[in-house]
Structure 1
Amino acid sequence: MIDPTTRLEHVLARFPRLAVAVSGGVDSLTLATIAAHTVPDFVAVHAVSPAVPVRASERVREIAHQRNWRLIEIRAGEFADADYLSNPVNRCYFCKSNLYKRIRQVTDFPIAAGTNLDDLSDFRPGLTAAGENGVVHPFVEAQIDKKTLREIAARAGLGSVASLPAQPCLSSRVETGIRISERDLDFIDRVERLAEASLGPVTLRCRITSGGVRIETDVGLPMALADNIRELCDAESRPFLGIAAYRQGSAFVGVKA
């Protein structure tokens, strides 16, 4: 049986040039790491946006510097898109459409994304945008799922990145139908950075719902941290709904089609 890293390298080797869309999570950072030593002409492209956690952008810059990647930073422009801002069921489609069109403006290289096999069984409107823009998915082509991807990341020397919890964009914390605003996303990022400073990288979501702010996590929250989060909510006159168990995609309201 061929080693998964070797399978991925074989897929990537057919590209003399490649632009990898790097969000700052384990998927795209792992893909970029393998592409950097497999593809002759490689560039990492990172979109800076109110919807991208500050720490994710910092992580991309740190690793790009450490590994001597050519890095292009862009503004994807989704905040100029009324369809995206209205936060419909398929918001991700409009996000990715803007992203890939903007990447195409800065490079004519083929564009690759960190989609893995597990993503194909989830509701991912962004995959439609990827298809419309000719984006390739090397992990899928190499038959690599999330677990295997993390193993590749560890072997590639990515250290703590290999065990990073899933970190979708900050807009995914906002309940469907609530308009996306920079104010809300900044609040989400501040709460989650406060939690990470106390707990380290754990699965935690600051959800913006029609009733107020709810914290979802798969670990226990120290009372002092919960009190600090409540104070942040009070300072912005946001009702604090308390702490609940983490549920993937719980901010999504609607029919997945």
Structure 2
Amino acid sequence: MQIAGTTALVTGAASGLGAATAALLAERGATVLGLDLQASIDKVGEPAAGIRYIAADVTSEEQVAAALKLNDGEPPIRLVVNCAGIAPAKRVLSGKGVHDLETFQRTLNINLVGTFNVLRLAAEVMAEQEPVDESGQRGLIVNTASVAAYEGQIGQIAYAASKGGVVGMGITAARDLARNGIRVNTIAPGIVATPLLEALGPEVNASLSASVPFPARLARPDEFAQLVTMIAEHDYLNGETIRMDGALRMGPK
């Protein structure tokens, strides 16, 4: 699938993985609709060429549906990348008491339900568009999971459950949408050098880097974006979850 000349919708586009993905897709010639919360967009300033920020909550049917209509079908939406998410840290039981239900439900609502909400509404739009090739391909949806879906660490019960759900629905979504010519793939990043991690300081970052077999460093957000473009251009990749983790297998803590 060609990226240039299409519209791409990226959630969580104001920072981290989403920002890097939006920037690279715009650089590659796509018109990018960057969804994020208004408070996050306000921190960015003027968007780069080819990117249009849209304030929307991924858990809202109305807001996501409205965002998908903003390109008026020209150029058609061919690529959707779900990057929006949160990562709270709480144990099931700790010195502060039992894990509260609200945090667990909120994490699943944003990370899992929000991803599904965008996926289903984007698929509805893509299914009405003309195919881009002789195989009948109409678009691609890339979801973001985490290695925590497989090796959740201490304090990641809510996050691991939400990302495990994202992994779990990938193959089913791909099979459901095959008849519509829509591919679905998932990326499960390891430890990525986002502003949140950098704020922990050089010692913590050095320790995290040393835990990665090779390359012994943190992943970069632009490497996530590069993988998105590779998946887009590789038309036979479908229903897959790709770990981007430098062969890391997370320990308990």
Given the two structures, how large is their TM-score scaled by the length of structure 1?
0.36
| Higher percent of residues as helix | 1
